[in-house]
């Protein structure tokens, strides 16, 4: 959830670390800090503060005021999202050891920290924070006998939980150590310098050559060398990855917020997901990352989808697609539930793990459980080289480019696009005819244009947002493919506007939620001209009878719903299996403009983080 940046090289690490931390702001945080090596065996210089990175920059200027500028060539920095202890200066990272000569930054949770802390206190170590992370710094000092890498290895063997850690020590001013277990660490390979971070976005301005650490890897880096070994100090080799996007992809490009930019990018990102994968002549899609020929696909007799949040809603659409197109029994489970409830994995079950970041802790745990139980495991991820992509071993990349806004937008539509292609490919090994497949491929090819037409309705959506920006509660309803879209719409609204919003299957409205309907509770009804529309119109009538304003998301030219709706957002005509995509784009724009009018922090909503790497 938090952000890590570390640097060793000839340049001033302060500038590089602070710049990298700015690139990680989208992940969500409530405090920030840096630690710098001032010289061999001297105490490390630590500057940290609650609040934003701008507050840290103010503190850095104050710390250096009146002092001769120095070139700090070794340092680490961190943005923290509070778990153990409030967002205070004391709880902010980096944390230092008792002697002030070892500093760490940590992402994750140390589950046995209380036990370790009690033992260290008995040995005379003094704790300055309430965090679980501080124990790591003291453990490294306790284990140190002249070898920094060895001390880190000895310390982490005592830890239980998940962590990505970067360590510096004034005893080794030419060395940066990092270790990973369950929380990502990426290494940027430059000429004469090394950068480590928790996310590629902090590195890409300096190099496109990166190495992703695996769980259990310990990195020992100098300005000129990178060595990776196991905890037992057995050397390992990790593949170098080339990042195919640049710094412009993680800048706003003239938009007020990253979220709005990413909503507007969806015609292009959907096209990227489709590019080179549609085989119209054969009525199918070619997804080479699945590593499956037609005979392999034909053997799959059950699909299980594991995901969280927005990806879970995409997975719900996927369940309908696999069952409707390929007649494969399918289920979608919250990823933590998949692992915790000891799922039944039958022979020839395909587990599809969906995660934008490819680092979601619960989804990664589901991948590992799926492998353990003998499933055919696939990942659907956006981040190349991410842990889920590597550990799944097969799957499909979204190619949506970096998604910076915490509230996912373009990843969802790309995920649904990919799931649709997977369903068509599987269906063609069963009863889907080549002609029917061709028709579906032709419809899929129209998706980028459909997305453009929805975005063209933004001025209409803004007027509706102005009308409802002050609401306190809101319901979303839909049936069939529109049910997951209703859940996703409610999630977007609550994430960025802090309005209480709930999504329901339209038929569920009368089983309790209808008791809350009144004139101050709008209902957003998803009623495009697809199966289920007539019954949802009946639910709209029930809402109207209870004086709840109804906002319809409906097909262009459909007059049936006008008498039941206070306001209408129009989407282009499209088949049922594609309708969730334009409907959700409309919901994204509505949520965005309501949040904007309410003055909310749209790209960094309170209490949320982009990559949820703790369970």
Q: In the listed set 191, 223, 243, which residue is the last one of a domain according to the structure?
A: 243
Q: What percent of the chain has pLDDT over 90?
A: 82
Q: Is the pLDDT of residue 1 over 60?
A: no
CATH number at residue 317: 3.40.50.10490
Q: Are residues 185 and 307 in the same domain?
A: no
Residue 399 and residue 277 share a domain: yes
Handedness of CA 15, 21, 22, 23 (dihedral sign): positive
Q: Is 84 part of any domain?
A: yes
Residue 196 lies in a domain: yes
Helix (H) or strand (E) holding 424: helix 410-427
Last residue of a domain, one of 208, 243, 278: 243
Looking at the fold, whether 228 and 297 belong to one and the same domain comes out as: no
The span from the CA of 532 to the CA of 40, in Å, is 71
**CA–CA distance, 446 with 336 (Å, rounded to integer):** 36
Question: Does residue 497 share a domain with residue 377?
Answer: no
- Please check whether residues 52 and 191 belong to one and the same domain: yes
**Is 17 found in the same domain as 110?**
yes
Say if 326 falls within a structural domain.
yes
Q: Do 1 and 613 meet the contact criterion of CB atoms below 8 Å apart?
A: yes
* Reported confidence tier of residue 82, pLDDT bands at 50, 70, 90: confident
241-283 pLDDT, tens digit each: 888 777 777 778 889 999 999 999 999 999 999 999 999 999 9
- Catalytic residue flag (residue 381): no
- Asked whether residue 611 is assigned to any structural domain, the reply reads no
Return the structure tokens found at 358. Answer: 């490819």
Any domain includes 614: no
446 is catalytic: no
Predicted pLDDT of residue 615: 57
Mean pLDDT value of segment 486-490: 98
Same domain, 159 and 183: yes
**By residue range, what is the domain housing residue 156?**
3-243
Using alpha carbons, list the distances in angstroms from residue 269 to 206, 262, 391, 447.
25, 9, 25, 11
Same domain, 403 and 471: no
pLDDT at 439: 97
Give residue 613's pLDDT.
55
Of 279-283, 368-372, 508-512, the range with the lowest mean pLDDT is 508-512
Domain tally, the chain: 3
pLDDT band at 307 (very low <50, low <70, confident <90, very high): very high
Residue indicated by tokens 């495991």? 377
Confidence of residue 402 (pLDDT cuts 50, 70, 90): confident
CATH of the domain at 151: 3.60.20.10
Which of 445, 469, 500 represents a domain boundary (last residue)?
Answer: 445
Look at residue 75 and tell me whether its pLDDT is greater than 70.
Answer: yes
**Are 427 and 519 contained in the same domain?**
no
The reply to whether 493 and 365 lie within a common domain is no
- Strand pairing of 226-229 and 31-36? unpaired
Give a yes or no: residue 168 inside a domain: yes
Residue 533 included in any domain: yes
Tokens representing 572?
């282009």
Each residue of 460-469: pLDDT tens digit? 999 999 999 9
Residue 534 domain-assigned?
yes
Asked whether residue 202 falls in the same domain as residue 283, the answer is: no
Annotated catalytic residue: which of 261, 494, 533, 610?
610
Q: Do both 367 and 460 map to the same domain?
A: no
**Of 2, 37, 381, 600, which is the active-site residue?**
2
């Amino acid at each position: 959830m938090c952000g890590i940046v570390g640097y060793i090289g000839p340049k001033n690490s302060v500038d590089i670390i602070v710049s990298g931390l700015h690139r990680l702001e989208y992940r969500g945080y409530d405090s920030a800090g840096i630690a710098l090596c001032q010289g061999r065996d001297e105490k490390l210089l630590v500057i940290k503060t609650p609040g934003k990175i701008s507050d840290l920059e103010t503190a850095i200027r104050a710390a250096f005021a009146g002092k001769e500028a120095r070139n700090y060539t070794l340092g680490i920095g961190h943005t923290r999202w509070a778990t153990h202890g409030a967002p205070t200066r004391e709880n902010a990272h980096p944390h230092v050891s008792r002697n002030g000569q070892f500093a760490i930054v940590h992402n994750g949770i140390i589950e046995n920290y209380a036990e370790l802390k009690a033992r260290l206190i008995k040995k005379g170590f003094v704790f300055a924070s309430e965090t679980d992370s501080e124990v790591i710094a003291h453990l490294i000092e306790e284990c140190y006998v002249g070898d920094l890498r060895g001390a880190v290895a000895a310390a982490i063997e005592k830890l239980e939980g998940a962590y990505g850690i970067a360590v510096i020590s004034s005893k080794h001013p030419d060395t940066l150590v990092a270790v990973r277990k369950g929380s990502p660490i990426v290494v940027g390979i430059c000429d004469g310098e090394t950068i480590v971070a928790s996310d590629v976005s902090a590195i890409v301005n300096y190099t496109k050559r990166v190495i992703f650490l695996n769980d259990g890897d310990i990195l020992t880096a100098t300005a000129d060398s990178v060595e990776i070994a196991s905890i037992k100090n057995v050397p390992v080799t990790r593949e170098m990855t080339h990042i195919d996007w640049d710094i412009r992809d993680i800048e706003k490009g003239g938009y007020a917020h990253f979220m709005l930019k990413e909503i507007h990018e969806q015609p292009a990102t959907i096209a990227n997901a489709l590019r080179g994968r549609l085989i119209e002549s054969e009525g199918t899609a070619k997804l080479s990352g699945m590593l499956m020929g037609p005979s392999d696909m034909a053997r799959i007799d059950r699909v299980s989808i594991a995901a969280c949040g927005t990806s879970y809603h995409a997975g719900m659409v996927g369940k309908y697609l696999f069952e409707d197109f390929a007649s494969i029994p399918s289920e979608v489970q919250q990823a933590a539930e998949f692992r915790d409830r000891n799922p039944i994995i039958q022979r020839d079950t395909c587990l599809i793990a969906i995660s934008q970041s490819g680092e979601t802790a619960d989804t990664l745990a589901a991948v590992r459980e799926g492998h353990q139980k003998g499933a055919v495991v696939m990942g659907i991820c956006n981040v190349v080289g991410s842990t889920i992509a590597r550990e799944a071993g097969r799957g499909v990349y979204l190619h949506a480019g970096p998604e910076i806004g915490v509230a996912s937008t373009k990843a969802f539509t790309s995920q649904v696009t990919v799931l649709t292609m997977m369903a068509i490919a599987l269906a063609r090994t069963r009863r889907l005819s080549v002609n029917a497949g061709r028709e579906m491929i032709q419809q899929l090819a129209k998706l980028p244009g459909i997305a453009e037409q929805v975005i063209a309705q933004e001025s209409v959506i803004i007027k509706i947002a102005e009308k409802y920006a002050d609401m306190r509660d809101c319901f979303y309803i839909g049936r069939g493919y529109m049910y997951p879209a209703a859940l996703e719409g409610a999630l977007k609204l609550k994430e960025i506007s802090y309005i209480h919003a709930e999504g329901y299957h339209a038929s569920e409205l009368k089983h309790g939620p209808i008791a809350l309907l009144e004139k101050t509770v709008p209902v957003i009804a998803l009623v495009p001209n697809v199966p289920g529309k007539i019954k949802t119109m009946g639910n709209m009538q029930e809402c109207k009878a209870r004086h709840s304003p109804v906002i319809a998301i409906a097909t262009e030219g459909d007059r049936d719903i006008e008498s039941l709706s206070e306001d209408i957002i129009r989407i282009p005509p499209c088949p049922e299996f594609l309708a969730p995509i334009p409907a959700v784009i409309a919901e994204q724009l509505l949520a965005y403009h309501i949040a904007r009018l309410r003055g909310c922090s749209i790209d960094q909503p309170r209490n949320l983080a982009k990559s949820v790497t703790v369970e």
